[in-house]
């Protein structure tokens, strides 16, 4: 039986082309192509954990699109709001990895002159399936990359407006990736600020927190925004900090052998949204113990992804996460 989507994930699905550690994926071999893109990663991670998800976005009618169609079918991700572009290709991102597995993004491959499919999500085609999906949804998750192109920005704003009208809270992953933006950082931040002001939950890296708020204090960031959102600050191998449900806290990262950190933050966010769908009261009035338990669960999701290549293949089931937590 198909699980109704509780989390609607709006944004990009793409290929991460991982270069050899210390090498250039545009030139050096071997490379490994892994399906990814933050919203697609979260949708797949949620489905593996047992929370229904849908991806709202656009892919090319190409080999990458076909691979995603097969992946989403196998995971049970709802794709009725996923569009298919006959002209623009799906995007391939060149990902460098250092000797510790940390990654950086260095450009794209596959563009043929008209941009990529994920930049051209059509609002008019999104409206009808979105209306169907909202009926059962509990969260709308968005990143900021769609704001970098006019068409996808319009579609994101449509999804945001429809979700708000239905009382569905917005989760925002800032996911600042300068490579995707034609604008200077200051101009990009001006486009992002309205989302910050509308979100019920915000996930940022420590560096992104510096950029958007000049602070790494999650409660202070929350207090500076009109909705007083939950704020989660991740810091790679450093400590996670949060303001959630009236609770502030800090958790050191789990120490695991790292193969590749791509998608760890997305798995973390999926783990937390999974728990918030199970225990929605945590968002507004969670006990210290329950909030900490949810953060440990989400952090374990991220840690497990780091132990394999790519963002999606290493994602864990709920049983695997719980087994990991029993042994740390």
- Give how many domains the chain has, as a whole number: 1
Over range 197-218, report the average pLDDT.
Answer: 97
- Give the sheet arrangement for strand 240-244, strand by strand: 82-85, 53-60, 7-10, 139-143, 170-173, 201-205, 230-234, 240-244, 247-251
Cα separation, 6 vs 191, whole angstroms: 27
C-alpha separations of 327 from 99, 255, 263, 305, 308 in Å = 27, 12, 23, 17, 19
Over range 225-242, report the average pLDDT.
Answer: 95
- Give the sheet arrangement for strand 14-18, strand by strand: 32-36, 14-18, 92-97, 103-109
Residue 270 has pLDDT above 50, yes or no: yes
Over range 220-233, report the average pLDDT.
Answer: 97
pLDDT given at position 36:
93
Torsion on CA atoms 114, 42, 70, 177, rounded to nearest 10: 20
Over range 218-223, report the average pLDDT.
Answer: 98
Instruction: Express as a percent the part of the chain with pLDDT over 90.
Output: 81
Angle at CA 40, nearest 5°, toward 123 and 9? Answer: 50
Angle at CA 278, nearest 5°, toward 273 and 280? Answer: 75
Query: Is 151 among the domain residues?
Result: yes
Query: Is 41 among the domain residues?
Result: yes
- Among 9-23, 92-106, 128-142, 209-223, where is mean pLDDT lowest? 92-106
Q: In the numeric block, which tokens belong to residue 177? A: 């990736």
Over range 167-172, report the average pLDDT.
Answer: 98
Residue 260 has pLDDT above 90, yes or no: no
Cα separation, 225 vs 244, whole angstroms: 14
DSSP 267-292: HHHHHHHHHHHH-TTHHHH--HHHHH
Count CB neighbours of 125 within 10 A. 13
Query: Is 219 among the domain residues?
Result: yes
Q: Which residues, in sequence order, are bridge partners of residue 141?
A: 9, 171
Which residues constitute the domain of residue 68? 7-326
Over range 184-194, report the average pLDDT.
Answer: 96
Over range 274-283, report the average pLDDT.
Answer: 96
Query: Is 237 among the domain residues?
Result: yes
Query: Is 69 among the domain residues?
Result: yes
Instruction: Express as a percent the part of the chain with pLDDT over 70.
Output: 97
Say if CB 275 and CB 294 are below 8 A apart: yes
Q: In the numeric block, which tokens belong to residue 229? A: 């959102």
Query: Is 2 among the domain residues?
Result: no
Cα separation, 270 vs 264, whole angstroms: 10
Per DSSP bridges, beta strands 14-18 and 92-97 are parallel
pLDDT given at position 70:
98
- CATH number (domain holding residue 89): 3.40.1190.20
Q: For the segment 45-85, what is each residue's pLDDT rounded down to a tens digit? A: 999 999 999 999 999 999 999 999 999 999 999 999 999 99
Say if CB 15 and CB 90 are below 8 A apart: yes
pLDDT band at 2 (very low <50, low <70, confident <90, very high): low
Residue 1 has pLDDT above 50, yes or no: no
pTM for the full predicted model: 0.94
pLDDT given at position 102:
67
- Among 76-85, 96-105, 173-182, 278-287, where is mean pLDDT lowest? 96-105
Over range 285-289, report the average pLDDT.
Answer: 87
Nearest to 226 by CA among 187, 195, 247: 195
Q: For the segment 100-110, what is each residue's pLDDT rounded down to a tens digit? A: 656 677 789 88
Query: Is 64 among the domain residues?
Result: yes
pLDDT given at position 58:
98
Q: For the segment 118-154, what is each residue's pLDDT rounded down to a tens digit? A: 999 999 999 999 999 999 999 999 999 999 999 999 9
Please, what is the average pLDDT of the chain? Answer: 93
Query: Is 1 among the domain residues?
Result: no
The b-or-e profile of 182-219 (16+ CB within 10 A means b, else e) is eeeeeebbeebeebbebbbbbbbbbebbebbbeebbbb
Nearest to 189 by CA among 9, 242, 197, 234: 197
């Amino acid at each position: 039986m198909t699980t109704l989507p509780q989390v609607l994930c709006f944004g990009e699905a793409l290929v991460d082309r991982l270069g050899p550690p210390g090498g250039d994926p545009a030139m050096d071999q071997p490379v490994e192509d892994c399906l990814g893109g933050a919203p697609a990663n979260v949708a797949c991670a949620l489905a593996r954990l047992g929370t229904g998800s849908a991806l709202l976005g656009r892919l090319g009618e190409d080999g990458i699109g076909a691979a995603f169609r097969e992946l989403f079918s196998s995971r049970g991700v709802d794709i009725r709001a996923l569009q298919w572009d006959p002209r623009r290709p799906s995007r391939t991102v060149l990902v460098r990895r250092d000797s510790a597995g940390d990654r950086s993004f260095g450009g794209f491959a596959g563009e043929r002159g008209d941009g990529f499919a994920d930049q051209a999500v059509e609002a008019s085609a999104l409206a009808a399936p979105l209306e169907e999906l909202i009926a059962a949804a509990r969260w709308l998750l968005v990143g900021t990359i769609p704001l970098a192109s006019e068409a996808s920005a319009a579609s994101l704003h449509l999804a945001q407006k429809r979700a708000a009208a239905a009382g569905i809270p917005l989760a925002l992953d800032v996911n600042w990736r300068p490579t995707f933006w034609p604008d200077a950082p200051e101009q990009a931040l001006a486009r992002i600020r309205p989302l910050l002001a509308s979100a019920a939950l915000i996930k940022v890296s420590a560096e992104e927190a510096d950029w958007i708020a000049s602070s790494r204090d999650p409660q202070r960031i929350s207090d500076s925004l009109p909705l007083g959102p939950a704020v989660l600050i991740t810091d790679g191998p450093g400590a996670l900090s949060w303001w959630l449900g009236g609770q502030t806290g800090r958790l050191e990262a789990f120490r695991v052998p790292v193969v590749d950190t791509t998608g760890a933050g997305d798995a973390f966010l999926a783990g937390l949204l999974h728990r918030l769908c199970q225990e929605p009261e945590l968002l507004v009035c969670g006990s210290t113990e329950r909030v900490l338990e949810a953060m440990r669960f989400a952090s374990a999701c991220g840690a497990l992804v780091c132990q394999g290549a790519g963002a999606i293949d290493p994602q864990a089931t709920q049983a695997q996460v719980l087994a990991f937590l029993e042994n740390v």
